[in-house]
Amino acid sequence: MSDNASKAIDTKDPGELLAPTPGLSGGVRSASKHDSGPKHVAGEAVYVDDILEPFGTLHLAPGAATIAHGRITKMDLSKVRSAPGVVCVLTADDVPGVNDVSPAHTHDDPVLPDGIVQFYGQPVFCVAAETREQARNAVKLAEIEYEELPAILSVKEALEKQQFVAPPHVMAQGDAKSALARAKHRRSGVMEIGGQDHFYLEGQITFAIPQEDGDVLLHCSTQHPSEVQHNIANVLGRPANAVTVEVRRMGGGFGGKETQASQWAALAAIVAVKTGRPAKMRLDRDDDMVMTGKRHDFIVEYDVGFDDDGRICGLDIQYAANCGFSADLSAAICDRAMFHTDNAYFLGDVEIRSYRCKTNLVSNTAFRGFGGPQGMVAIERIIDEIAMTIGRDPLDVRIVNYYGTTDRNTTPYHMTVEDNVLAELTNDILASCDYRKRREEIDAFNAQSPVIKRGISITPVKFGISFTTTFLNQAGALIHIYQDGSVHLNHGGTEMGQGLFIKVAQVVAEEFQIDLDRIKITATNTGKVPNTSATAASSGADMNGMAARDAAIIIKSRLIAFAAEKYGVAEAAVRFVPGRVIVGDVTELEFADLVKQAYLARVSLSATGYYATPKIHYDRETASGRPFYYFAYGVACSEVMIDTLTGEYKVTRVDISHDVGRSLNPAIDRGQIEGGFIQGMGWLTSEELWWDDAGRLRTHAPSTYKIPACSDRPEDFRLELWSSGRNVEKTIHRSKAVGEPPLMLAISVHRAIADAIASVGDYKVIPMLNAPATPEAVLNAVANVAKGMIAQSHDAVPAAGE
């Protein structure tokens, strides 16, 4: 990527549209409906498993290890091979190329392990049969023996034994040690934060169709088609051009289909190439939950110093993350947790240490927020702890610690926060949600209600936008205009439900000033736009929108030059207005007519577009730079009720004001905010991952793993896209990324539950609430606060459970 390209885009700032362009159907700012909506509701949207299977399609099923760590001493698959319908059985020996699908070239993610099992449930062989049922039945006939090795099943144990998948990393500003020593008040503690299963409704799936020359076409449910392509080429021992990956849509992704799709794609591809028959690998839900990575669980240890106003003046914090058996994206995820230690707060002198622990559990991976949520939930608990220690309202302590706009505005990674809008956002929500008045009402309620207690909390979100691995911040697009003026749009981003396709199409509609229905949104395909980055880091619309706009501008410039020459006007006199093109005062044409004329005049109507995010740079050695192009902000206020006899709770009201800049599509953005919030709430409340002593995940299906259901959505949910939002950076139409940031608004729920628990001890004992706050965790915290009240000394605020 040359600097020139991004400068070219820079000079083409899309400008300051405040509202949809009149007369244009489906340009930017319009609340256009999801392009697949009518197909979704009719059951006509095609997911990978819905593609009509060609004759002879084989179906795959994985065979799982039944120990957490050990050596395979015997693997007798003869009964599997002779089972009805079985066509082939794969083991590590059948991988024709490199037996690895690790995303960061750490070479520790085998397609099938060669001799050593590293977690309970790891696929050790794979069956291909005429039907899926036959494949699943055959799996049961394997005879495998192991020599067990010691297994590390907790992050605590891995940390003690210094088992890591990547080296520890430190980030610092100033001198945390002496700042802590000087601090007027000081608190330390430990917080345990659970992981989270993605629970995309469509499980992992790849359908591989063999092509000539031993090539393969993969229909894969993945957020990262290019990575799947490159991984599968390696696995097959073929060049990248032998593999094509196509993704029309996913039934949800949330980060779980970024790196986790490769293994299943690899198995399907191997079978397809080996047998010459189409091969489909669709994981059963239980296998999916057991065999694929999740959000990292963390243990956070902290030591914080603060003054009488609750202003933080020193922080020493340490993260230990459960990465599982391999590195996957853990290094970047743990980095992002470090980058979000501050959330919205100026931490001053700070030292952040991060340990990437290796365990004999499934390898954890990307999940919406990518480590950010873990960093932020910890600092929010710390803030509450500070507030209780000095007897202030937690909101006031938050505000006093907010980044400044002119000073107190450098992050622990030495980036200046230039776009801070939190003070305004917080003021706006304070006015609309009546926080102070409700706090008084809650106090009155709690005073007369011995069993049911209410709690409330406001928490902010500041989330850094860009891949922190700088080179990933690039995107490409491809646009064709056909002779009838219809437009074919393609780009490297994938559609997982987030509305990326419609947003990018709106950008193109706006650029050409044509109605949205003139644009065909087409499946992501590595044959059309190559070398793409994952649709991740909330960057989809920012980057692909810009790349598509770049392609549109290239074609548009050709059309303008053509029209100017043909009609003898200056280029500046050629203007695109809704549906039409005005050529000076000479003529006015339909868009399609201009296109037809240009074709006949031999003007190219196809172009690729490209975008690389400007301004960003980061030096990981010194842990300093500007890893983020800008920040997305939001504030949420949540109110809950808890039952102090059972630990059950209910979220009764939520108010959100979120900054999406100038929204490309307010309906889609609202959907992202609401959905992200509820998903974050699930992570912090009912979603609990539970492994038994053998390292076996026992919450591996919706019967045991509880994501929020309809009734968990708060009765009273008030959401506003912040009306003053505008990206100070020249992003696509001054919008802001919205995929991940809202998830962390749900931290307010966790803090509101803690607030309700604190009421049991008259706010004099700090509830050391971990995550997820299951009813059991809440009841334990209630019990500890009650005990703390009994044990309370007069000169210190005790923390329950310490």
Partner 1 sequence: MTKPALDTRDDIRFLFGNEERRLRDIDPQMTVLNWLRLNERKTGTKEGCAEGDCGACTVILGEPNSQGSMRYRTVNACIQFMPTLDGKQLLAVEHLKSEDGSLHPVQQAIVETHGSQCGFCTPGFVMSLYQLWLDGGEDDRGAINDALAGNLCRCTGYGPIIEAARKAGGISATDPVEQKRRSDIATRLSTMVEGADMLALEMPVGRYFAPRSSDELAALLVAHPDATVLAGGTDVGLWVTKMLKRLDPIIYIGDVADLKSVREKDGVLTIGAGVTYSDAHNALGMIAGDVGELVRRIGSRQIRNAGTVGGNIANGSPIGDTPPALIALDARIALRMGDIRREVALEDFFITYGKQDRAKGEFVESIIVPKPAAGVQFKAYKISKRFDQDITAVLAAFAIRIDGGKVVEFRAAFGGMAGTPMRAKKCEAALIGKDWNEASLNAAQLALTRDFAPMSDMRASKEYRMLVAQNLLTKLFIETTAPEIATRLVGREAAHV
Of 236 and 502, the one with the shorter C-beta distance to partner 1 is 502
Contact residue for partner 1 among 130, 157, 192, 286 (CB under 8 A): 286
Site mask for partner 1 (CB under 8 A), range 376-415, x = bound:
----------------------------------------
Task: Determine the Cα–Cα distance for residues 772 and 688; give it in Å rounded to an integer.
Answer: 6
Contact residue for partner 1 among 424, 515, 593, 643 (CB under 8 A): 643
Please give the residues from 741 up to 780 whose contact with partner 1 meets the rule CB under 8 A: 774-776, 779-780
Dihedral sign (CA 597, 600, 602, 608): positive
Q: How far is the CB of 425 from partner 1 (least distance, A)?
A: 21
- By the rule CB under 8 A, 229 interacts with partner 1: no
Site mask for partner 1 (CB under 8 A), range 427-466, x = bound:
----------------------xxxx--------------
Q: Is 526 helix (H, G, I), strand (E, B) or coil?
A: coil
Cα angle at 103 between 90 and 264, to 5 degrees? 30
Q: Where do runs of H (alpha helix) occur along 57-110? A: 78-81
| Angle between the N-to-C axes of helices 262-275 and 225-236, in degrees from 0 to 180, rounded to the nearest 10 | 50
Q: How far is the CB of 569 from partner 1 (least distance, A)?
A: 42
- By the rule CB under 8 A, 710 interacts with partner 1: yes
User: At 775, phi and psi to the nearest 5?
Assistant: -50, -35
Of 178 and 432, the one with the shorter C-beta distance to partner 1 is 432
Specify the residue for token string 């070398």. Answer: 531
Question: CB of 769 within 8 A of CB of 193?
Answer: no
Q: How far is the CB of 33 from partner 1 (least distance, A)?
A: 6
Of 253 and 661, the one with the shorter C-beta distance to partner 1 is 253
- Give the closest residue to 87 by CA, choosing from 282, 278, 238: 278
How many of the chain's residues bind partner 1 (CB under 8 A)?
Answer: 89
- By the rule CB under 8 A, 713 interacts with partner 1: yes
Contact residue for partner 1 among 707, 744, 752, 785 (CB under 8 A): 707
Please give the residues from 468 up to 507 whose contact with partner 1 meets the rule CB under 8 A: 496-499
Question: CB of 665 within 8 A of CB of 500?
Answer: no
Q: Stretches 34-42, 103-111, 413-421, 480-488: which one binds partner 1 (CB under 8 A)? A: 34-42
Site mask for partner 1 (CB under 8 A), range 667-696, x = bound:
xx-xx--xxxxxx------x-x-x------
- Report residue 59 CA to chain centroid gap: 30
Which whole-number Å values give the CA distances from 714 to 99, 422, 757, 773, in the listed order? Answer: 47, 24, 19, 17
- By the rule CB under 8 A, 140 interacts with partner 1: yes
Of 29 and 398, the one with the shorter C-beta distance to partner 1 is 29
Other residues' Cβ atoms within 10 Å of the Cβ of residue 105: 8
Q: How far is the CB of 710 from partner 1 (least distance, A)?
A: 4
Question: CB of 571 within 8 A of CB of 564?
Answer: yes
DSSP 335-361: HHHHHTSSTTB---SEEEEEEEEE-SS
User: At 295, phi and psi to the nearest 5?
Assistant: -65, 140
Contact residue for partner 1 among 10, 44, 145, 418 (CB under 8 A): 44
Task: List, edge to edge, every strand of the sheet that includes 143-148.
Answer: 116-117, 70-76, 143-148
Task: Determine the Cα–Cα distance for residues 155 and 300; give it in Å rounded to an integer.
Answer: 11
Of 449 and 483, the one with the shorter C-beta distance to partner 1 is 449
User: At 641, phi and psi to the nearest 5?
Assistant: -125, 140
Q: How far is the CB of 757 from partner 1 (least distance, A)?
A: 15
Of 9 and 745, the one with the shorter C-beta distance to partner 1 is 745
- By the rule CB under 8 A, 202 interacts with partner 1: yes
Is 776 annotated as catalytic?
no
Q: How far is the CB of 132 from partner 1 (least distance, A)?
A: 9
Please give the residues from 170 up to 199 whose contact with partner 1 meets the rule CB under 8 A: 198-199
Q: How far is the CB of 778 from partner 1 (least distance, A)?
A: 10
Specify the residue for token string 């981003």. Answer: 493
- Give the closest residue to 467 by CA, choosing from 552, 396, 366, 374: 366
Q: How far is the CB of 253 from partner 1 (least distance, A)?
A: 8
- Report residue 464 CA to chain centroid gap: 12
Residue from 202, 246, 380, 740 carrying the catalytic annotation: 740
Contact residue for partner 1 among 23, 37, 84, 239 (CB under 8 A): 37
Q: What is the DSSP letter of 140?
A: T
Q: Which two tokens stand for residue 801?
A: 């459970």
Which whole-number Å values give the CA distances from 610 to 241, 532, 546, 548, 718, in the listed order? Answer: 21, 10, 7, 7, 38
Of 334 and 668, the one with the shorter C-beta distance to partner 1 is 668
Contact residue for partner 1 among 2, 4, 41, 600 (CB under 8 A): 41
Task: Determine the Cα–Cα distance for residues 366 and 256; give it in Å rounded to an integer.
Answer: 6
Of 109 and 495, the one with the shorter C-beta distance to partner 1 is 495
Contact residue for partner 1 among 708, 767, 788, 798 (CB under 8 A): 708
So which residues are the catalytic ones?
A: 740
